[in-house]
Amino acid sequence: MPEGPEIRRAAHELGRALVGRVAGRVEFLVPRLAAHGARLSGQRIVAVTPRAKAMLIRFSGGQTVYSHNQLYGRWQVTRAGREPATARALRLTIANERHVARLYSATDIEVLDEQGLAAHPYLARLGVDLLDPLTTVHAVRAAAEDARFRRRSLAGLLLDQGFYAGLGNYLRSEILYVTGLRHEERLGSLTSADRQRLADTALALTRQAYRTRGVTNDLERAAGLKARGVPFTAYRHRVFARDGEPCWTCGDTVLRTDVAGRGIYYCPTCQPGTGTATAKRARATRRREY
């Protein structure tokens, strides 16, 4: 599933192709939305805005196309006249004189006015957006102090868009690894220093993933592995999708456990949890590395 960094990169690509230009053709291949195509065709696109894992495309007439990629959705931009070779199901086309933007496979698509945007259940419940340039570490830390979340386990909390908006499965595992925390721990059981570390890491690592097209590994290590010819998928992450492989830091075997059908990857040595001398040493190691 695309996470916040991937959606924001897609938004910037869409923005470069669409914003300020008239959408000569807008076509929905979702029957319940088909009538909107004719209404939006001929309008100018004034903004493309990512909101966590959602995309908002605003038209000059005041309506906004909302889409959420969910598990399989994908935006693709091509030059006008080029037809992508893909077996994906086309859901939406927005075309101008230069470019064509196509949304494939997504099923969560709506056309909303201002009132609809304000009341949208996904948008209305979003927490602090880690990729919003205006978001500060103080705001991220404040969410970690919110009493509403104290009883939640980190496994579920880091996927809750009402907590840190934009996080998904790979970022969850990577953030927990860097902080030396375990997925079963509850936010309320963490020390103040742990919560600060969680806030710092969530903000920094999510923004690193955006800048580097999804690389959450130590950047010096990743560069060295790339120079040796290691494939991108093998050097991209610290622990995510590396079950059975040795931890980059300690050499112990990376493990996987499933929580609510979603895989969490962790190193039992580098992530012993809180409250022990071993845990303190592991977190100190994570700080030096990161």
- Residues labelled as active-site residues: 2-3, 53, 262
Q: How far apart are CA 172 and CA 198, in angstroms?
A: 11
Answer yes or no: are the C-beta atoms of 47 and 71 closer than 8 Å.
no
> Which segments within 80-215 are labelled E, that is strand?
90-95, 99-104, 108-112, 128-129, 164-165
Cα–Cα separations (whole angstroms), residue 11 to 5, 100, 115, 237, 268: 10, 14, 23, 23, 37
Quickly tell me which residue has 């950047």 as its tokens.
Answer: 219
Give the H or E element holding residue 173.
helix 169-179
Q: Which tokens sit at 143? A: 């969410």
C-alpha distance from residue 259 to each of 39, 97, 156, 184, 264 (Å): 44, 47, 8, 9, 7
d(CA 94, CA 263): 35
